[in-house]
Structure 1
Amino acid sequence: MQVIVRDNNVHQHLRRWKKKMNLGYRHIPIVVRR
């Protein structure tokens, strides 16, 4: 799972993750501390 690729990539990934998090998740330990 390579999530830390670039600030821009991480931002887009978080955007999609936020949508999935809204589905049910809330606090997931996944490279969220920039």
Structure 2
Amino acid sequence: MLLFLVTTASVLYHIRATDVLPTYYYWLSGKVSF
């Protein structure tokens, strides 16, 4: 059960990280463009 929770948490964190990073890079490149 604990392993399942840890796995779920790491997967959600990974999805969150991969979702946030491109957004941050797009925002940064947008700032640099303007």
TM-score, normalization by structure 1? 0.46
> Could you say which structure has the larger radius of gyration?
2
Higher relative contact order (CA 8 A, sep 6+): 1
Identify the structure with the greater helix proportion: 2
TM-score, normalization by structure 2? 0.46
